[in-house]
């Protein structure tokens, strides 16, 4: 059985805001997001959860830590 990876939530600001749930150890300055694809240190990472939004998913204007937003990804 795999040990679950500890996660944190980061915010990518577009014309609207989308939240992505990423591993807790990630440094936000190493994250790139384009077309709803998340890259960490230049490598595409599959399976990243995100909130729904109605935007074009081009490059966000900012990517930063989103403290206390993990509840967005809580499963019922």
Domain limits, the chain: 7-71
DSSP code of residue 58 = S
The phi, psi pair for 20, rounded to 5°, reads -120, 140
Query: pLDDT confidence of 6, banded at 50, 70, 90?
Result: confident
Under 8 Å between Cβ of 9 and 73: yes
Predicted TM-score (pTM) of this structure? 0.56
The pLDDT assigned to 55 comes to 65
Question: What are the pLDDT digits (tens) for 36-53?
Answer: 899 999 999 999 988 876
Listing from the earlier edge strand, what are the strands of the sheet with 37-40? 31-34, 37-40, 43-45
The pLDDT assigned to 22 comes to 94
């Amino acid at each position: 059985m795999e040990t679950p990876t500890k996660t944190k939530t980061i915010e990518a600001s577009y014309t609207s805001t989308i939240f992505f749930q990423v591993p807790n150890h990630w440094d936000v300055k190493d994250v790139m997001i384009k077309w709803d694809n998340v890259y960490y240190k230049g490598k595409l990472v599959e399976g990243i959860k995100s909130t729904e939004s109605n935007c074009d998913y081009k490059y966000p204007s900012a990517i930063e830590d989103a403290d206390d937003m993990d509840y967005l990804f809580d499963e019922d």
